[in-house]
Amino acid sequence: MESLPLSAISAWLASDRPFAQGTALYAAAGPSDTYKRLFSLAATDYSRQVLERELRTLVRDVQVEIAAVAPLPPPAPPAPAAEAASPAPTPPAGSDSPLLDQVRQQLKAVRDERSHIHPQLTGKNVGTKARGAVALRIVELTDQEVELKADEAHVLAHGRLPGKVATADVVDEVELRRRLLNLRSQRSRLRQRPERADDLAAVEAELSLIESKLKS
């Protein structure tokens, strides 16, 4: 954790999250040898989900430590206005979408609330317990800001929120076949675990959906 590449992890979370790169980041910063061994194996839907979850947790833990020992950083200065003679840049994907507006409204609300309550940390009539509650809320809002900024970057780059695209919405044959192989591997393991019959049924259903999409 001493050399945690926080900015690199945040950038990875806001990207397409390539598994090999995420594995390298966790190997450098993650505390769990069990997860390191898991991520060293071939990527599956399960290991991808765990890798994303654990890297998000690392970012949140560092944000909590920063918020606990240091004041919040000042807001970034506004970007300089483009010169009149310069051509207008092409807007990135998703830059005018209602989804992006929604994410930015949530981001503004989080920042406004944090700005509103932050002065209470040094208020003359604020007791110790109340001050502690304010500090915890500021930490929560800072975590939310990190997540929303990652969502904003992902919408700008891809036109949608981060997360796995539902199989029903996947049209790329290569991606469908990749999921097919992963699910068949999961099915083989689940067939040896009678207590996970519900999970096996869900995998079977998704396999049937993929196979029908590949045949159409």
Structure token pair of residue 144: 């939310």
Secondary structure of residue 154 in the 3-state scheme: helix
Q: Do 9 and 61 contact (CB within 8 A), yes or no?
A: no
pLDDT of amino acid 90: 45
pLDDT of amino acid 71: 46
pLDDT of amino acid 29: 82
pLDDT of amino acid 86: 44
Going from the first residue of the chain to its last (216 residues), give the mean pLDDT of each consecutive group of 10, the final group possibly shorter. 62 89 87 87 90 87 53 50 44 65 88 87 76 81 88 80 75 86 89 86 89 85
* pLDDT tens digits for range 170-209: 778 888 888 888 899 889 888 888 888 888 888 888 898 8
pLDDT of amino acid 172: 82
pTM here? 0.39
Q: For the chain, where are the E strands, in sequence order?
A: none
pLDDT of amino acid 94: 53
Helices (H), 70-127: 98-117
Domain ranges of the chain: 1-71, 94-163, 167-215
**Which has the closest alpha carbon to 3: 23, 28, 22, 20?**
28
